Amino acid sequence: MKQVIIIGGGIIGLSSAYYLQQAGHRVTVIDKEDFHHNCSYGNAGYVCPSHFVPLATPGIIWKGLKWMFNSKSPFYVQPSLNGALIDWGVKFAKSATGKHVKTSAIPLRDIALLSQKEYEQWATVPGFDFAYEHKGLLEIFQTAPVAEHARHLVEKAHRLGLDTVLLDTAALQQLEPHTEINALGAILFRCDAHLYPQKLMQGLLKILREKEVQLLGNEEVVRFEKAGNSIQKVITAKNAYEAEEVVIATGAWSRNMAAMVNTKIPMMPGRGYSVTLQDSPYRVNYPAVLAEGRVAITPMDGNKIRFGGTMEIVPTSAPPRYHRIEGILNAVKRYYPAFDIPMPPTEQLWYGFRPCSADGLPYIGRIRNYKNVTIATGHSMLGLSLGAGTGRLVREIINGEKTSMDITPFAVERFA
């Protein structure tokens, strides 16, 4: 039994705490905020083995450049001479190849399936209800080129053994009898599930408290006390905590945290926004990605509907550009013409920073310089989906167990 300090109380940190506590360790989670303000709350809630294509794909660079000049577009990189951005951008561009897409598919599928299995187990824990539904995810398209792309994607999904079917307009409309949909068709990824992130996070916090995991909010970790090749203490602005093992799960802030243990991970924050109708007058049966609009829509937890999207590569200090939410709502109306959603007041708008690795794969594993440090971050658009699986892998790494899958593709120092 060891004293484990986990830095970061998003889904990755809390899920790691869940498995490490279960394995008998004494666990403390430290977060600079109050555990309720991070990227793991306002996301679209997809648990999606279908997302086996990483963010870095051929063509994304040109699309990004084109979109950059439209202030309501789904993708934006704030130009800057910042070294971290340049380093990330060069590595991202180098990763955006067909070969990388091909080699990433199996590890992304495997960690997503592992994670989904774990969430399905969590959903059976008495009192742990997070509105988990395994009914599938639609990817709706409106244009012929995207329809063609969808056909290829379905073939790839079949080769990966993922239950997927291509729907024409009529078949799509049958799934959504209450809502007119303006589309050429859709992919139905039957392999996918979704959940309500707020309930997941609050339920996890409750379980961890009951299991006497120490949860320390509003304490920012500022440095480490080191001896030889191990970390002895984790130092916050208020206190120092003895540690036998340290887990860095600080999401979009992980680049700086990793640098404190002399480890380089190329990483940029990717801001996204969401709006949630708490009691929606509209009805949809299925969560859906609006392919050309790059928007996610999720019916969740009864009568709620969440709309989310955009990817802004900006520092976490950049002020929010709320007008991007208009771009999201306009896209929704193009697919669901009956959906008239006025721009909500600012206090109802949410944004969060995705931890974007340079190649769209997470960083999970030990580091070279310190023998008692594990990093688990960089999940980009998939942190919720891969959260439970990542927590399990962190436990296996720290316990020296055989990992549930090959984690070589997630090696923390693969860019070193």
Ligand X SMILES: Cc1cc2nc3c(=O)[nH]c(=O)nc-3n(C[C@H](O)[C@H](O)[C@H](O)COP(=O)(O)OP(=O)(O)OC[C@H]3O[C@@H](n4cnc5c(N)ncnc54)[C@H](O)[C@@H]3O)c2cc1C
Q: Which two tokens stand for residue 271?
A: 């801001």
Choice between 54 and 383, CB closer to ligand X: 383
DSSP lists the bridge partners of residue 357 as: 267
Instruction: Indicate which single residue of 274, 357, 372, 374 sits in contact with ligand X (rule: CB under 6 A).
Output: 274
Query: What residues from 278 to 317 belong to the interface with ligand X (CB under 6 A)?
Result: 296, 308
Count CB neighbours of 279 within 10 A.
8
The window from 62-70, 97-105, 128-136, 378-386 that contacts ligand X (CB under 6 A) reads 378-386
Choice between 25 and 51, CB closer to ligand X: 51
Instruction: Indicate which single residue of 153, 186, 381, 412 sits in contact with ligand X (rule: CB under 6 A).
Output: 381
Contact mark string toward ligand X, 12..51, x via CB under 6 A:
xx----------------xxxx----xxx--xxxx-----
The window from 10-18, 96-104, 337-345, 393-401 that contacts ligand X (CB under 6 A) reads 10-18
Choice between 28 and 95, CB closer to ligand X: 28
Least distance from ligand X to the Cβ atom of residue 302, Å = 18
Choice between 184 and 219, CB closer to ligand X: 219
Choice between 100 and 379, CB closer to ligand X: 379
Least distance from ligand X to the Cβ atom of residue 147, Å = 23
Query: What residues from 236 to 255 belong to the interface with ligand X (CB under 6 A)?
Result: 249-253
Choice between 147 and 203, CB closer to ligand X: 203
Q: Is 89 a residue that touches ligand X (CB under 6 A)? A: no
Count, residues near ligand X per rule CB under 6 A? 41
Angle at 89 between CA 87 and CA 91, to 5 degrees: 70
Instruction: Indicate which single residue of 4, 5, 7, 166 sits in contact with ligand X (rule: CB under 6 A).
Output: 7
Query: What residues from 90 to 149 belong to the interface with ligand X (CB under 6 A)?
Result: none
The window from 119-127, 128-136, 352-360, 397-405 that contacts ligand X (CB under 6 A) reads 352-360
Q: Is 331 a residue that touches ligand X (CB under 6 A)? A: no
Q: Is 198 a residue that touches ligand X (CB under 6 A)? A: no
Instruction: Indicate which single residue of 4, 5, 6, 9 sits in contact with ligand X (rule: CB under 6 A).
Output: 9
Least distance from ligand X to the Cβ atom of residue 74, Å = 11
Q: Is 73 a residue that touches ligand X (CB under 6 A)? A: no
Q: Is 220 a residue that touches ligand X (CB under 6 A)? A: yes
What is the three-state SS of the chain? CCEEEEECCCHHHHHHHHHHHHCCCEEEEECCCCCCCCCCCCCCCEECCCCCCCCCCCCHHHHHHHHCCCCCCCEEECCCCCHHHHHHHHHHHHHCCHHHHHHHHHHHHHHHHHHHHHHHHHCCCCCCCCCCECCCEEEEECCHHHHHHHHHHHHHHHHCCCCEEEEEHHHHHHHCCCCCCCCCEEEEECCCEECCHHHHHHHHHHHHHHCCCEEECCCCEEEEEEECCEEEEEEECCCEEECCEEEECCHHHHHHHHHCCCCCCCEEEEEEEEEEECCCCCCCCCCEEECCCCEEEEEECCCEEEEEEEEEECCCCCCCCCHHHHHHHHHHHHHCCCCCCCCCCHHHEEEEEEEEECCCCCEEEECCCCCCEEEEECEHHHCCCCHHHHHHHHHHHHHCCCCCCCCHHHCCCCCC
Q: Which residues bind ligand X (CB under 6 A)?
A: 7-13, 30-33, 38-40, 43-46, 220-221, 249-253, 257, 272-274, 296, 308, 352, 354-355, 377, 379, 381-385
